[in-house]
């Protein structure tokens, strides 16, 4: 297999299922998982409390007071452990929270503020906080179940199952803490952050619909109505594709999204163009478009390249001066562009169950993606031969991959890079060295 074919990276064999905007937004929040864990542990505690009460009633009905007395002594000893766990767990939570803040601060300063969302979406981070808080809540609930009556004949409850459940939660908390520290340390390393960004980009690309017949977007005809944005101003995070397709099918029209995912929307600007009929009522389009304060990966094809470009720019700044990081970012830029090199771009169409196009959504074109991935890094790389060599190697690899109609922006960037290096390099030898393609930059 040739070297340039390796840069694409395998796409998933089975097409991943797109999550709804609501589920994606819940993954971008930090309150949902801990809240759900605390509610869940309360339900589990009720079940455990009923089991303990049933155990006590069964022993009392059988007259096995000796065993019940032993359980009371065990529960009394376990109470000390449960109390210690309750007080220590809050300290543990504070330690984890402090580690998270330091990691987020270092990542945003070293890479780009846009990678903070990787920490927010981290499953292990959410699971750790959720289990810690659930364990703390469980200890408080278990302490309320202890009965001051030590007589086995009249005791109402022995928190045996609850105490064992608390110890299991403590063991789970310790295991998650080790995993959390390992994951956090990985996310503070630039190679893993860049790899996560690339993986998210591949997922978005895999979710893009591909025409079964290989054709592009059909001709829609004239615009018959417009739908304007009447909500708050912000970034278009995603659109509820299934809902818009249902609305368009129900009203016998085709909807065309005017802004791209990631565009900033101002109230009053058109967001949907209607083709073939009247505009659907406003209530039918409610919650179909999600506007927020920042971009997300959910449907944003260009967001990964934007982050990688930011990381490369920061690495090339005089304050950081880390060309190796810029080369690592370029590795993934080339990989993402290679993956998209033969995919239909500019616009994607979404069809209903009968195969009729109902929604047309604009996406970045090939030229725009190439410019996003290379322009800013190329402009700052003239004094870093390691980066110029990697840029030329990446452009050459892409030129071997792309179809002829997509070679023009790559040739333009290669010519501009050569011109910039020829102007800045002081000697012919320096120019020749900086313009020698090398996939590792400089070894």
And the tokens for 359? 């929604």
And the tokens for 329? 């970012």
Around Cβ 50, how many Cβ atoms within 10 Å?
12
Please compute Rg for the chain using Cα positions: 29
- Give the Cα-Cα-Cα angle 297, 37, 119 (nearest 5 degrees): 30
Q: What phi, psi does 112 have (nearest 5°)? A: -165, 145
Closest to 409 (Cα-Cα) out of 361, 341, 315: 341
**Rounded CA separation 93/131 (Å):** 10
Closest to 93 (Cα-Cα) out of 129, 141, 144, 138: 129
Find out whether 135 and 85 touch, Cβ atoms under 8 Å.
Answer: yes
**Rounded CA separation 61/66 (Å):** 13
**Rounded CA separation 189/413 (Å):** 30
Find out whether 257 and 250 touch, Cβ atoms under 8 Å.
Answer: no
Give the model's pLDDT for residue 308.
93
Helix (H) or strand (E) holding 228: strand 223-228
Around Cβ 20, how many Cβ atoms within 10 Å?
14
Q: How far is CA 365 from the centre of its chain?
A: 23
**Rounded CA separation 132/33 (Å):** 12
Helix (H) or strand (E) holding 46: helix 32-62
**Rounded CA separation 56/40 (Å):** 25
Q: Give me the count of residues in the chain.
A: 443
pLDDT (tens, 9 = 90+) of the chain, 443 residues, equals: 333 333 344 444 444 444 456 666 777 777 888 889 999 999 999 998 888 888 877 777 777 777 777 777 777 777 788 888 887 888 878 877 787 777 777 766 667 777 777 777 778 888 888 898 899 999 888 888 776 666 667 666 778 888 888 889 989 988 988 888 888 877 778 888 899 889 989 988 888 877 655 556 777 888 899 999 988 889 998 888 888 999 999 988 999 999 999 999 999 899 999 998 888 888 888 888 888 888 888 888 899 999 999 999 988 988 888 899 999 999 999 999 999 998 888 888 888 888 888 999 999 999 999 999 999 999 988 888 999 999 999 999 999 999 999 999 999 999 999 999 988 888 889 888 988 998 888 86
List C-alpha distances in Å: 234 to 218, 279, 338, 367.
30, 23, 31, 26
Q: DSSP code of 273?
A: E
Give the helix ranges, DSSP H, for 252-322: 303-316
**Complete DSSP assignment for 248-303:** HHHHT-EEEE-SPTTPEE-TTSEEEEEESSPPPPGGGGTTSEEEESS--SSS-TTH
Give the model's pLDDT for residue 13.
43
Give the model's pLDDT for residue 148.
65
Find out whether 121 and 19 touch, Cβ atoms under 8 Å.
Answer: no
**Rounded CA separation 96/104 (Å):** 12
Give the model's pLDDT for residue 397.
93
**Rounded CA separation 139/144 (Å):** 9
Give the model's pLDDT for residue 211.
63
**Complete DSSP assignment for 329-359:** HHHHHHHHHHHHTTS--SEEEEE-TTS-EEE
- SS3 call for 220: coil
**Rounded CA separation 56/198 (Å):** 57
Find out whether 443 and 402 touch, Cβ atoms under 8 Å.
Answer: no
């Amino acid at each position: 297999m040739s070297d340039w074919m390796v840069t694409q990276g395998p796409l998933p064999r089975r097409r991943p299922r797109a999550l709804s905007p609501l589920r994606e937004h819940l993954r971008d929040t930090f309150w949902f998982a801990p809240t759900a864990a605390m509610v869940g542990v309360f339900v589990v505690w009720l079940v455990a409390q009923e089991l303990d009460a049933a155990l006590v009633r069964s022993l009392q009905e059988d007259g096995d007071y000796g065993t019940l007395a032993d359980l009371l002594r065990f529960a009394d000893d376990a109470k000390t452990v449960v109390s210690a766990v309750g007080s220590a767990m809050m300290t543990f939570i504070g330690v984890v929270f402090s580690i998270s803040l330091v990691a987020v601060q270092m990542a945003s300063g070293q890479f780009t503020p846009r990678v903070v969302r990787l920490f927010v979406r981290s499953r292990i981070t959410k699971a750790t906080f959720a289990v810690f808080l659930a364990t703390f809540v469980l200890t408080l609930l278990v302490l309320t179940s202890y009965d001051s009556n030590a007589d086995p004949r009249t005791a109402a409850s022995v928190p045996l199952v609850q105490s064992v459940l608390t110890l299991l939660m403590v063991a789970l908390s310790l295991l998650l803490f080790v995993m959390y520290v390992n994951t956090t340390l990985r996310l503070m390393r630039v190679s893993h952050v860049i790899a996560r960004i690339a993986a998210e980009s591949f997922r978005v690309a895999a979710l893009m619909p591909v025409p079964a017949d290989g054709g592009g977007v059909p001709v829609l005809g004239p615009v018959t109505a417009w739908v304007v944005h009447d909500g708050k101003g912000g970034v278009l995070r995603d659109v509820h594709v299934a809902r818009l397709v249902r609305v368009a099918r129900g009203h016998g029209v085709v909807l065309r999204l005017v802004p791209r995912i990631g565009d900033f929307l101002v109230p009053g600007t058109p967001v949907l163009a209607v083709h073939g009929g009247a505009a659907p009522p406003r209530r039918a389009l409610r919650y179909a478009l999600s506007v927020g304060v920042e971009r997300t990966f959910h449907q944003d094809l260009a967001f990964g390249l934007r982050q990688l470009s930011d990381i490369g720019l920061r690495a090339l700044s005089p304050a950081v001066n880390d060309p190796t990081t810029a080369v690592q970012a370029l590795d993934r830029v080339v990989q993402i562009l290679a993956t998209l090199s033969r995919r239909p771009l500019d616009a994607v169409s979404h069809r209903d169950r009968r195969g009729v196009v109902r929604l047309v959504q604009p996406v970045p074109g090939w030229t725009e993606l190439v410019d996003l991935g290379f322009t800013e890094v190329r402009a700052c790389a003239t004094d870093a031969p390691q980066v110029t060599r990697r840029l030329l190697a990446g452009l050459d690899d892409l030129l071997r991959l792309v179809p002829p109609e997509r070679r023009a922006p790559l040739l333009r960037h290669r010519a501009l890079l050569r011109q910039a290096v020829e102007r800045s390099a002081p000697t012919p030898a320096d120019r020749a060295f900086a313009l020698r393609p090398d996939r590792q930059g400089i070894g």
